[in-house]
């Protein structure tokens, strides 16, 4: 085997191993009560939020958030009847003083996961990333609690 190819293979393998270890050991957590097992899987990337389920029963809801993008994101749960793309904005972000923020997971770094468990009442919600510019770029989705 070519010595350069062998060194390149070893270097790539080491980087993959380091990335796997970093991803599995890094996590953010915020809890407002309830179990952190199970729940709704959420994937954030530049610039979208995808939920495995767009609804849940009222009570304790756990969101298992994975940031697959190259940027740090937030996961903000807002109770509102407004459409996901119609929240009030100010200076490139949703104006959190004009909406009802129920809970949030801040600073979800790239290639990490976080867990947010919060009590949700029956109603309509919008989940956003409120890092400046991310909401306007499409990082928002509807969520319903019944």
**Strands (E) located in the chain:** 27-31, 40-45, 48-51, 55-56, 59-67, 73-79, 89-90, 93-94, 100-108, 113-120, 123-128, 140-145
Residue 95 three-state SS: coil
Tens of pLDDT, residues 57-68: 999 999 999 999
Chain position carrying tokens 């697959």? 68
Tens of pLDDT, residues 119-139: 999 999 999 999 999 999 999
- Asked if the model's pLDDT at residue 114 lies above 50, the reply is yes
All residues at 6 or more sequence positions from 118 whose CB lies less than 8 Å from its CB, including other chains: 32, 33, 34, 60, 61, 63, 77, 102, 103
Chain position carrying tokens 């003083």? 97
pLDDT, mean over the chain: 82
């Amino acid at each position: 085997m070519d010595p350069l190819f062998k060194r390149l293979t070893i270097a790539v393998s080491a980087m993959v191993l380091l990335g796997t270890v970093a991803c599995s050991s890094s996590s953010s957590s915020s809890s407002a009560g309830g179990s952190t097992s199970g729940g709704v899987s959420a994937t954030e990337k530049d610039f979208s939020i995808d939920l495995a389920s767009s609804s849940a029963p009222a009570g304790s809801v756990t969101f298992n958030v994975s940031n697959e993008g190259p940027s740090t994101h937030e996961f903000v749960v807002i109770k509102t009847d407004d459409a996901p793309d119609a929240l009030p904005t100010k200076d490139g972000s949703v104006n959190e003083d004009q909406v009802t923020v129920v809970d949030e997971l801040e600073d979800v770094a790239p290639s990490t996961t976080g867990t947010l468990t919060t009590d949700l009442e029956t109603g309509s919600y919008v989940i956003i990333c409120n890092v400046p510019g991310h909401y306007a770029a499409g990082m928002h989705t509807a969520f319903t609690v019944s």
